[in-house]
Structure 1
Amino acid sequence: MTAAANASWALVSTIKAPLEEVLNFAAWHLELGAKRLHIYLDDPEDPAYPILKAHPRIRALRCDDSYWRRVTPKGRPERHQLRQVANASHCYNRKNSHDWLGHIDVDEFLVPEAPVAELLAALPDTCHSARLRPMELLAPEAPGPLLRFRAFSLPLARRHAQTERLYPEFGPWLNGGMLSHVAGKLFLRAGLPQVRFRIHKALSEGTELPEAQEMPQIPLAHLHARSWESWHAHYRFRLARGAYRAELKPMRPAFESSVTLHQLLSTLEEAEGEAGLRRFFTEVCTDRPALRQALAEESLLHEVRMDFARLRASHFPRAGQDVTS
């Protein structure tokens, strides 16, 4: 294969997570062939910093007060979404040597059907952005490297019909069964002037980029709900400031009785308490045999082997003590 058949790529992410999850994210994408990982540590005292900084393909930055004074006139943004896009924009507009830059979160993982470098190189020169659509984790009953994910169909009519078949109780108010975004995340080609990232889109010189090229060959595995305990622990934050916050649009705007996910979950909790939330989680988020079969019949079930322990040991052999301590 010639060099022309490959395109170098990098990722940028703003991260505040337990050390093991940070190293999982880094090791997975190093294994896939990322030329560089630009990791902005939201907590400037994050213990991951020396481990990441020591790796030759990782550029780790501490987002302390002095950093924010350099990057934004008003200092550190209060909302984490604004910090994410500020950091991604800062990264893109620096002098870099990679051909493409992707912006994703610490719980999102590229799952390419072929080497990422080849898939990006195959895009036409006129393509400036590529969209990666998510698939969400089905919370497993027991820990292990084999994880299952639910995807969704792009055509809306098909997606909504499938959602109602898959989730008989809550499907009418859901969009593909997805609790987080369906818009996906972007890779941007290098060389665009004055880029400003948004969470699901990007602008160049103040103008939104043309519609991104869909990249079904690189689904984005989103570990949004690893278990009931993990989901419930994150629930309040997501309801107030994250993926379930009140100001987001209804999940099915054209549906006559559509509500936001915030309204759906809040109403359910008010009426039934934690038991109602658990019933919702069981139907929509758990790796149940019946749901697996139904998803497979709709061609929406994906199985991915994610042996994070092996990858951490391979890419960060000296970090084992830090992860387990």
Structure 2
Amino acid sequence: MSTSPIWGVVATIKAPAVDILNFVAHHLELGAAHVWIYLDAANPEAKEQLKPHPQLTVVRTGDNYWQKTRGKKPPMHQPRQSFNVRHAYNRAKKVDWLLHIDVDEFLWPDRSITEQLAELPEECLVARVRPAEAMASIDDSDVVHFKSFIADSTLRNRLVAEIYPNFATYLKNGFVSHVAGKMFLRTGQKDMAIKIHNVTQNGRQNPGQVELQDVALLHLHTTSWEQWMQSFAYRHKKGSYRDELGAAVPEDQGGLNLHKLFAHLAEEPDGLRQFYEEVCVATPELRQKLESLGLLRSHRLDLDAKRREHFPGFVD
């Protein structure tokens, strides 16, 4: 391992071309040496921009790809993501670390990612980055406000109850999406069984795991009521609100997972809207609560400017 580790990113993406290029440009700007993009649906506009770039590998995962690599296409996107990460990991010979994230997730380091990776002990094969979840803006500002991960597990439930009085029982860390974050994987390791949030090697889960303290994974899970509603049905059936995921509090202790909670709220007048307004919107009241507890992050992502810098030929 060199003293200056080289890192890369891999993502399986089904999104408009502008979102794909924003995602790639942001991580190139941060110093990613290579980015692997697995297109989960045909996107000739994005592919035209990505394919000539020397730091990018773009793979269209159509029927031929799945027939050749797995015999058939997995019906759920989670197994497709896991397979593609393994596919890229086995080919990532020129990077020391590989991070799997989604198109709506953006690394945001407080200091150099390379520095942070260089400090990890040799036995660390997994470096976890915790998320910060975006809240929907109430104005036209280009600042995006995020709720941070609560690192102290002894305080987490009390703080969530204080911040979200009506829905704390159903929320892990106050988040609507995942709290596990994503992982940098040290490359060149044998027998790595890679999934979205965890890895196993010879029966050991997340061997040598270290949590990186000076970087967040900004997750644009919710940006507006319209965007949340547009994604809701898919997430409820197959995504981050699907029924197989666990509850923040077990059902025999009064909890419900988000799948059941949202099914119940959808039957009430304005039930989902009430949840959205309390949990997902960056109101002055919620921002003040989060800030007083040291849990508010506010950032200008400047994604359009980064996209124009790295993909000047793209016209939105």
**Structure 2 length normalisation: TM-score?**
0.95
Query: Relative to structure 1, is the Cα distance of residues 194 and 119 closer, same or farther in structure 2, using a 3 angstrom cutoff?
Result: same
Question: CA separation in 1, counterparts of 2:169 and 2:153?
Answer: 13
Counterpart of 1:192? 189
Question: CA separation in 2, counterparts of 1:232 and 1:95?
Answer: 37
Q: Give the counterpart of 1:66 among 64, 68, 81.
A: 64
Which one-letter code corresponds to 1:37 in the other structure?
Answer: V
Task: Answer yes or no: is 1:124 the counterpart of 2:111.
Answer: no
Counterpart of 1:152? 149
Question: CA separation in 2, counterparts of 1:83 and 1:219?
Answer: 25
Question: CA separation in 2, counterparts of 1:287 and 1:188?
Answer: 33
Counterpart of 1:17? 15
- Whether the 8 Å CA contact 1:149–1:303 is kept in 2: the answer is yes
Counterpart of 1:301? 296
Give the C-alpha shift of residue 271 in structure 1. 2.3
Counterpart of 1:314? 309
Give the C-alpha shift of residue 117 in structure 1. 1.0
Question: CA separation in 1, counterparts of 2:92 and 2:283?
Answer: 47
Give the C-alpha shift of residue 224 in structure 1. 0.1
CA deviations on 1:189-222 (whole Å, 9 max, x unpaired) are 1111132321100123565332521112111000
Give the C-alpha shift of residue 96 in structure 1. 1.9
**Structure 1 length normalisation: TM-score?**
0.93
Give the C-alpha shift of residue 32 in structure 1. 0.1
Partner SS, residue 89 of structure 2: helix
Counterpart of 1:55? 53
Runs of at least 5 residues in structure 1 that lack an aligned partner in the other structure: none
Give the C-alpha shift of residue 172 in structure 1. 2.5
Give the C-alpha shift of residue 175 in structure 1. 1.5
Give the C-alpha shift of residue 4 in structure 1. 4.7
The correspondence of residues 18-57 of structure 1 with structure 2, limited to 5 A, is 18-57=16-55
The correspondence of residues 78-97 of structure 1 with structure 2, limited to 5 A, is 78-97=75-94
Counterpart of 1:262? 259
Q: Which moved more, 1:169-178 or 1:138-147?
A: 138-147
Which one-letter code corresponds to 1:86 in the other structure?
Answer: F
Which one-letter code corresponds to 1:151 in the other structure?
Answer: S
Question: CA separation in 2, counterparts of 1:277 and 1:292?
Answer: 21
CA deviations on 1:62-104 (whole Å, 9 max, x unpaired) are 11122112221x3211100010000001110125200000010
Question: CA separation in 2, counterparts of 1:255 and 1:110?
Answer: 37
- Whether the 8 Å CA contact 2:181–2:197 is kept in 1: the answer is yes
Give the C-alpha shift of residue 54 in structure 1. 1.7
Give the C-alpha shift of residue 142 in structure 1. 3.1
Task: Answer yes or no: is 1:238 the counterpart of 2:235.
Answer: yes
Partner SS, residue 279 of structure 1: helix
Partner SS, residue 147 of structure 1: strand
Question: CA separation in 2, counterparts of 1:44 and 1:310?
Answer: 25
Question: CA separation in 2, counterparts of 1:292 and 1:45?
Answer: 38
The correspondence of residues 268-279 of structure 1 with structure 2, limited to 5 A, is 268-272=265-269, 275-279=270-274
Which one-letter code corresponds to 1:315 in the other structure?
Answer: H
Q: Which moved more, 1:81-90 or 1:133-142?
A: 133-142
- Whether the 8 Å CA contact 1:145–1:308 is kept in 2: the answer is no
Question: CA separation in 2, counterparts of 1:264 and 1:211?
Answer: 36
Query: Relative to structure 1, is the Cα distance of residues 95 and 242 closer, same or farther in structure 2, using a 3 angstrom cutoff?
Result: closer
Question: CA separation in 2, counterparts of 1:218 and 1:284?
Answer: 24
Counterpart of 2:283? 288
Query: Relative to structure 1, is the Cα distance of residues 13 and 222 closer, same or farther in structure 2, using a 3 angstrom cutoff?
Result: same
Q: Give the counterpart of 1:170 among 167, 174, 193.
A: 167
Q: Give the counterpart of 1:212 among 191, 209, 217.
A: 209
Question: CA separation in 1, counterparts of 2:216 and 2:89?
Answer: 22
Partner SS, residue 183 of structure 2: strand
- % identical aligned pairs: 40
Q: Which moved more, 1:254-263 or 1:104-113?
A: 254-263
Count of residues paired in the alignment:
316
Question: CA separation in 1, counterparts of 2:135 and 2:303?
Answer: 17
Runs of at least 5 residues in structure 2 that lack an aligned partner in the other structure: none
Which one-letter code corresponds to 2:250 in the other structure?
Answer: P
CA deviations on 1:99-141 (whole Å, 9 max, x unpaired) are 0000100000000111111111111111111011111001112
Partner SS, residue 268 of structure 2: helix
Q: CA RMSD for the aligned pairs?
A: 1.7
- Whether the 8 Å CA contact 2:93–2:188 is kept in 1: the answer is no
Question: CA separation in 1, counterparts of 2:92 and 2:133?
Answer: 34
Q: Which moved more, 1:76-85 or 1:92-101?
A: 92-101
